[in-house]
Amino acid sequence: MKGMMNLPSQRIDGLGRILLPKGLREGLGWECGDVLSIRKEGGKLILQLMIQQPDPQCAYCGRPDRAVSVNGKDICDSCLEGIAEALEVQG
């Protein structure tokens, strides 16, 4: 098999786990939280991306930056400031 000698290898640990090398994950765009399917094909395991974890984004303005999570919603710094100001005006 071509290139076999250069493939990164991983040893299965006592709990049956292996590490997916960072270079492979980055090459595929797989990130923490993504869900993979695992199936056997002949003598091989095939890993396939099933669910990609959405990038965190502000629930108010939709910008891809998150400062805090409240009740499962992410809120960015500037929206937090806006909320704080609104509360001050009301208070």
Contacts to Zn ion by CB under 5 A: 58, 60-61, 76, 79
Which residue, 30 or 60, has its beta carbon nearer to Zn ion? 60
Query: 26 or 77, CB closer to Zn ion?
Result: 77
- Residue 27: strand, helix, or coil: helix
Q: How far is the CB of 58 from Zn ion (least distance, A)?
A: 3
Instruction: For the CB of residue 50, give the shortest distance to Zn ion in the complex, in Å.
Output: 29
CB closer to Zn ion, 36 vs 86: 86
Q: Minimal distance in Å, beta carbon 35 to Zn ion?
A: 27
